[in-house]
């Protein structure tokens, strides 16, 4: 019967531990008195919590600070190399596996083509992951005892509670119990989530998301998806479908052949649609529409894609600029819809297309000023090519911290 | 320095009190043992909390229940008439003021035209509210000592923290300190919010919202707005602008004259747009396009509005059905965008247009099946004409409960 009172006390204690750990990670080296000042927690509370954090290995003393009269205080810092995690960024084209410390610093990365599951079966993908994990830990020359967790970002519908990927056509997985498979193989805790949610967590842990309690991470690549962070918590929705931004309707007359197809927004503004613009515009160019600065080095129509389109627009080639402006107006409509419904502090863009940067973002921002009375900050993720890997690592790091804080 | 530990203990205590009060309100009469079983709280915790709740007046003993061996247990119930609140539903056309008990049962309601602020100044609106509040309390024959709070739903941009309405053109208010004005006049606590947020809270307290931890309340009237409830909390956004659904873009080519105008969605699907459809379709009818069942009783083009359009569609008049189907496709696009971004348990529709019920909702649902892989429950609010009043009362009731639970 005293269970709940205990649980409540335990939850207050866990909240305090978590607050202190975050504060030490952000501000350390810092003294106990400093922690008390910053967090508002009493000195006895801080004292007891710090003992537990030092026992967990996540915090360590690092010499003494300046005295303000009495004995010089012991300074504390986050021990990012107390252990390491493996991040697995699984895509339809490549598998990326990396080993990071507890701050997400990448010690080593492996990248290899995803086995063709159509020929080799979905088990081939699992075996390739096993091999890549072993190689990553070997190459990093880290002792297996120091590898504390594995995080997986999966390209499909994932239940983070069970660690099962229910559907991921890109790798041929259906009802694949990824967590069990990996934890049985490596005997360490595993956390699995879909790749966009993982990337949103990477933003929160290592990227611009650190600055904003509420933000929406939008990944624009082959498809378009979003991770919604509200009051510093990933919001998953009633059926784990929150953030299915690719299905946003920005043309009320749009008629999909089937609701399982690409959604309205991604049909109009994801990488394949942009590639079609590129082909049309840059092929047209070689037929004599070349702008002055671009006519001499026209790529062939078959090799051009989004990158070439954005480059041509940047160089001032008018048909490319018009195409980019059209794509920007689609994205501006969708981001306006995010802004007016959720009023987040920021929208952070990731995925391959976001690499176009201001060439794409400036016309998006201009158009949003016409459409939206609500204008959150819009930024391209700074995490670059490692974003997926860091997202997977962020899952692993979160697993490590939560286990440590709950005393497991 | 012990402040925060105290605060944490106090917040656990307040959480427990709130949980017990909600449980008693939903399930009472109920015994202390029953409460312990339902909430998982220990018997000592329940015992101490119940003493506090009885002292606050919000809970009272009501006889004894069946014994399971020993002494028959005292049963407890929510004391809905411990006090009353005034709800003020302020609109551009009418002021509605009602007195309700703490379960939102309306004892008396006053409705009068909103004074024309253009002629009489914005102070006339405030004076009319003062008078209506006094009359409502008089007519209900309730002692002023029993009136514990006032809630106000205001038709404009409102800061619930300060109780100031920064902009409400419908009543000519600008930076009007509504909370101060009312609390100085009546010497009781006042809570102010915008009318759509208030209506969302009414759904949560008295309507279908009780069934869903996450839902979006969408009001379709002269404009379109939404209240977003996530994990049982109203979500306001970074700048208190969450739920500005009228600005949702469902036509990427839409070009507003100014971002301060009506938004894209409301330009296409709110009451004025629907009225224009009505005029066009039902005027066209009198020019000889009448359907068989509707031709005899054609209303004149100047008197027809949304109600007549929905009625004609219900009666099978083909041009009206087509117009409703078009309006439904606009709304379906917007609700799909809500569904795929937030994946709420439910979308609850309110406002005048929602009264069209299934005539409008069935085509909306059909269209959403084509568009959206995420299909929340969609229902029309059951709160009817009192919705605004109940929303305002819900604000007042919340004020009373929070003050009681925090021991003020």
Residues of A with CB below 8 A from B236's CB? 343
The CA distance from A398 to A205, in Å, is 9
Architecture of domain A3-78: Orthogonal Bundle (1.10)
Report which of B180, B145, B9, B104 is spatially closest to residue B398, judged by C-alpha positions: B104
A103: helix, strand or coil? coil
Taking only the tens place, the pLDDT of each residue in B368-400 is: 999 999 999 999 999 988 888 999 999 999 999
B228: helix, strand or coil? strand
The CA distance from A259 to A236, in Å, is 21
Question: What is the pLDDT averaged over residues B196-208?
Answer: 93
Taking only the tens place, the pLDDT of each residue in A94-134 is: 999 999 999 999 999 999 999 988 888 878 999 999 999 99
| Interchain proximity B330–A263, CB inside 8 Å | no
Taking only the tens place, the pLDDT of each residue in B312-323 is: 999 999 999 999
Same fold, B84-203+388-405 and B210-382: yes
pLDDT at B92: 84
pLDDT at A295: 43
Residues of A with CB below 8 A from B17's CB? none
Of A1, A42, A238, the CB nearest to B345: A238
Of B238, B249, B334, the CB nearest to A336: B249
For A106, phi and psi rounded to 5 degrees?
Answer: -80, 120
Confidence of residue B287 (pLDDT cuts 50, 70, 90): very low
| Interchain proximity A333–B372, CB inside 8 Å | no
The CA distance from B296 to A357, in Å, is 62
Taking only the tens place, the pLDDT of each residue in B57-81 is: 999 999 888 877 788 889 999 999 9
Question: What is the pLDDT averaged over residues A39-46?
Answer: 85
Confidence of residue A7 (pLDDT cuts 50, 70, 90): very low
Architecture of domain A210-382: 2-Layer Sandwich (3.30)
For residue A293, pLDDT over 80 is answered with: no
CA distances from B36 to B20, B39, B48, B386 (A): 9, 5, 12, 36
Taking only the tens place, the pLDDT of each residue in A328-352 is: 999 999 999 999 999 999 999 999 8
A318: helix, strand or coil? helix
B215: nearest CA in chain A? A238
pLDDT at B123: 87
Confidence of residue A387 (pLDDT cuts 50, 70, 90): confident
Count Cβ neighbours within 10 Å for each residue of A53-81 and write b for 16 or more, e otherwise.
Answer: beebebbbeeeebeeeeeeebebbbbbbe
Count of A-B CB contacts under 8 Å: 205
Contact A179, A164 (CB under 8 A): yes
Q: For the domain made up of B84-203+388-405, give the CATH fold.
A: Nucleotidyltransferase; domain 5 (3.30.420)
The CA distance from B14 to B406, in Å, is 7
The percentage of chain A sitting over the pLDDT mark of 70, rounded to a whole number, equals: 93
pLDDT at B406: 82
Residues of B with CB below 8 A from A373's CB? 241, 244, 247, 259-260, 263
B29 prior amide bond cis, ω within 30: yes
* A142 contacts: CB under 8 Å, gap ≥ 6: A84, A99, A107
> CA angle, A306 as apex, A302 and A312 as ends, to 5°?
90
Taking only the tens place, the pLDDT of each residue in A46-59 is: 999 999 999 999 99
Output B385 or B159, whichever has higher pLDDT: B159
Taking only the tens place, the pLDDT of each residue in B293-305 is: 444 444 454 678 9
For residue A272, pLDDT over 70 is answered with: yes
| Interchain proximity A245–B341, CB inside 8 Å | yes
**Secondary structure of B199-227 in the HEC alphabet?**
HHHHHHHHCHHHHCCCEEEEEECCCEEEE
The residue ranges of every structural domain in chain A are: 3-78, 84-203+388-405, 210-382
Question: What is the pLDDT averaged over residues A317-327?
Answer: 96
> What secondary structure letter does DSSP report for B155?
S
Confidence of residue B408 (pLDDT cuts 50, 70, 90): low
Residues of B with CB below 8 A from A248's CB? 336-337, 340-341
Q: What are A129's two structure tokens?
A: 């992951």
Distance between alpha carbon A195 and the CA centroid of its chain, in Å?
7
Distance between alpha carbon A191 and the CA centroid of its chain, in Å?
14
pLDDT at B216: 98
Looking only at the bridges linking them, the beta strands covering A84-90 and A94-101 are antiparallel
| Interchain proximity B341–A343, CB inside 8 Å | no
- Give the full edge-to-edge strand order of the sheet including B59-64: B30-31, B74-78, B59-64
pLDDT at B97: 97
The CA distance from B252 to A251, in Å, is 6
Confidence of residue B8 (pLDDT cuts 50, 70, 90): low
Question: What is the pLDDT averaged over residues B174-197?
Answer: 95
pLDDT at B291: 44
Taking only the tens place, the pLDDT of each residue in A187-237 is: 999 999 999 999 999 999 999 999 999 999 999 988 899 999 999 899 999
Residues of B with CB below 8 A from A236's CB? 343
Taking only the tens place, the pLDDT of each residue in B23-55 is: 999 898 999 999 988 888 888 889 999 999 999
Output B299 or B265, whichever has higher pLDDT: B265
pLDDT at B131: 96
pLDDT at A348: 97
Question: Average per-residue pLDDT in chain B?
Answer: 89
What interface predicted TM-score (ipTM) does this complex get?
0.86
Q: What are B165's two structure tokens?
A: 């309405």
pLDDT at A264: 94
Radius of gyration of chain A (CA): 24
The CA distance from A298 to A289, in Å, is 11
Beta bridge partners of B379: B348
Confidence of residue B290 (pLDDT cuts 50, 70, 90): very low
């Amino acid at each position: 019967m005293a269970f709940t009172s205990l649980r409540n006390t335990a939850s207050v204690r866990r909240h305090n531990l978590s607050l202190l750990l975050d504060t030490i990670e952000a501000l350390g080296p810092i003294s106990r008195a400093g922690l008390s000042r910053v967090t508002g927690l009493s000195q006895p509370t801080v004292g007891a919590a710090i003992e537990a954090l030092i026992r967990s290995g996540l915090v360590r003393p690092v010499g003494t600070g300046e005295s303000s009269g009495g004995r010089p205080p012991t300074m504390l810092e986050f021990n990012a190399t107390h252990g390491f995690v493996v991040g697995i960024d699984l895509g339809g084209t490549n598998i990326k596996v990396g080993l990071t410390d507890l701050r997400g610093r990448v010690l080593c990365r492996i990248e290899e083509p995803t086995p063709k599951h159509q020929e080799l079966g979905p088990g081939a993908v699992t075996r390739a992951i096993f091999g890549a994990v072993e190689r990553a830990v070997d190459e990093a020359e880290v002792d297996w005892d120091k590898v504390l967790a594995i995080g997986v970002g999966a390209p499909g519908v994932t239940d983070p509670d069970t660690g099962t990927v229910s559907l991921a056509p890109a790798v041929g997985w259906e009802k694949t119990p990824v967590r069990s498979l990996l934890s049985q193989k490596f005997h360490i805790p595993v956390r699995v989530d879909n790749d966009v949610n993982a990337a949103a967590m990477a933003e929160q842990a290592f990227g611009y998301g650190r600055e904003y309690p509420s933000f929406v991470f939008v990944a624009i690549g082959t498809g378009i998806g979003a991770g919604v962070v509200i009051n510093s918590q990933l919001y998953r929705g009633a059926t784990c479908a929150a953030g299915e931004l690719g299905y946003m309707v920005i043309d009320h007359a749009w008629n999909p052949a089937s609701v399982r197809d690409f959604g309205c927004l991604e049909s109009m503004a994801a990488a394949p649609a942009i590639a079609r613009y590129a082909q049309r515009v840059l092929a047209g160019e070689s037929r004599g529409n070349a702008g002055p600065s671009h006519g001499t080095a026209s790529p062939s129509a078959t090799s051009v894609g989004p990158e070439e389109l954005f480059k041509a627009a940047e160089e001032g080639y008018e048909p490319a600029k018009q195409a980019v402006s059209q794509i920007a107006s689609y994205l501006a409509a969708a981001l306006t819809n995010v802004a007016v419904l959720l009023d987040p502090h920021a929208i952070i863009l990731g995925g391959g297309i976001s690499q176009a940067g201001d060439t794409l973002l400036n016309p998006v921002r201009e158009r949003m000023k016409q459409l939206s009375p609500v204008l959150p900050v819009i930024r391209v993720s700074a995490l670059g090519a490692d974003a997926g890997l860091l997202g997977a690592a962020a899952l692993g790091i979160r697993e490590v911290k939560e286990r440590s804080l709950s005393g497991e």
